[in-house]
Amino acid sequence: MAGMSLALSLLALAAAPQPAAPSQREVFYGTLRQAQGGRVEQAVASLLQLAGQHPQDSYADDALGQAARLCEEELYRPARALELYRRLLEEYPRSRLARRARTRVEWLSAHLDQGEQVLGEYLRITRSAAKVGLEQAVAAMRKLLDAHPEFSLRAEGRYWIAGLLARTGQDREAERLYQQIAATSEDKQQAARALIDLANLRLAAGNLDGAEDAYRRLGELGPRWRQAAAGGMQQLAHAATRGRIPLVAGVVYALVLLWTWLAFLLGLRRGGPVRARLFLPPVEALVYLVVMAGLIAWAASGTRMTARALGWMAGLHLPLLLPAGWSWKSARPPRGGARLAVRLSLLLVGSLAIMVLALGQAGMIGEVLDTLKFGVSE
């Protein structure tokens, strides 16, 4: 009887539904989540196991491609990534990933000339700059390039440094580096690229003469770059027109500022009692300065151009806010709907002029006008 019960139990266990093994798709995406969680080494091993055990599965080529990508972009092991990309091309020549794999094979093969450690360090610096800080990343790249002057990515590394310097507001240092690249490079393509970047940097800073000189030197490189130089000269003509906008805004701001102070002083002269608290900073101005200080501190951690624009806005608004705030604290604030509307309209015009001046000082007028004209790029 006991034997029969045991047999029935075994039959029931065998008949019970077993949990289904995860599909290759579930394994693949689970491994990618593992990589996103920081376990990159384990993820690469799992992807290679998936591709090796199920070479005919529809996710096998994806597994190889992702393993190669992780080796290159996360582990900074370009030689291993090159090996996996080549394996992908050999085993799955018709894969949709073949084109990218072929591109990566060409690039990695061309730049392993100084060994895997050098290229791996280059990849690490360029991909982790935001995490370690831009200044530290620039210092690390300079150290790497100085230690390996024959490195095939030396020119790209110098461009990368110059771009980071420009982004952090170190325009003079970036300009010096672009000029050095253009003057010392034996490759005309590299020299042309440096001159174009130099012209754009000077144009953003409002140095139209310097930008014109860079475009002139670009045209002297040969017929291949004359069209680009001509386009740059045309861009300079538009920039000259745009350069008049801050000038007009400056005149408008000066007139509004003069009117605001005169209106305040004349109001006092007409008999408005001057109390001791009248010449304390208005609450509106203090609140505005606190808010702007917070915005400037926030922007300074990203791009200095935005921080510079906000700083100019705060500095130019203060002389306008003080008399306006004092007028409201005086005994004779503006009365009547028409007079109030005129005063508020003039203050609004002054604020718009300040915005234009701040954008001009930060070199952002062109970007804003292009955004208004063409919309935000995707």
At residue 133, the 3 state secondary structure works out as: coil
Q: How far apart are CA 306 and CA 295, in angstroms?
A: 9
pLDDT tens-digit series, residues 173-202: 999 999 998 888 878 888 899 999 999 888
Instruction: Note the pLDDT of residue 186.
Output: 78
Average pLDDT of the residues in 226-242: 80
Closest CA to 366 of 208, 173, 175, 163: 208
Which residue reads 């234009």 in tokens? 356
Task: Give me 299's structure tokens.
Answer: 């922007």
Q: How far apart are CA 31 and CA 45, in angstroms?
A: 9
Q: What is the dihedral angle through the alpha carbons of 337, 343, 347, 349, rounded to the nearest 10 degrees?
A: 90
User: How many CB atoms are located within 10 Å of the residue 133 CB?
Assistant: 11
Which position has the higher pLDDT, 370 or 286?
286
Centroid of chain to Cα 147: 28
pTM greater than 0.85? no
Q: Are 37 and 70 spatial neighbours (Cβ–Cβ below 8 Å)?
A: no
Instruction: Note the pLDDT of residue 16.
Output: 43
Q: In this structure, what DSSP letter does residue 206 have? A: T
State yes or no: pLDDT of 40 exceeds 80: yes
pLDDT band, very low/low/confident/very high, at 286 (cuts 50, 70, 90): confident
Closest CA to 206 of 242, 175, 176: 242
Q: Is 134 left (phi over 0), alpha (psi -120 to 50) or beta?
A: alpha
Task: Delineate the domains of the chain, giving CATH numbers in brackets.
Answer: 24-112 (1.25.40.10), 133-221 (1.25.40.10), 244-374 (no CATH)
Mean pLDDT (the chain, rounded):
81
Average pLDDT of the residues in 3-30: 53
Q: Are 362 and 246 spatial neighbours (Cβ–Cβ below 8 Å)?
A: no
In what helix (H) or strand (E) does residue 337 lie, and over which residues does it extend? helix 337-361
DSSP string spanning 85-115? HHHHHHH-TTSTTHHHHHHHHHHHHHH-TT-
Instruction: Note the pLDDT of residue 350.
Output: 86
Instruction: Note the pLDDT of residue 24.
Output: 65
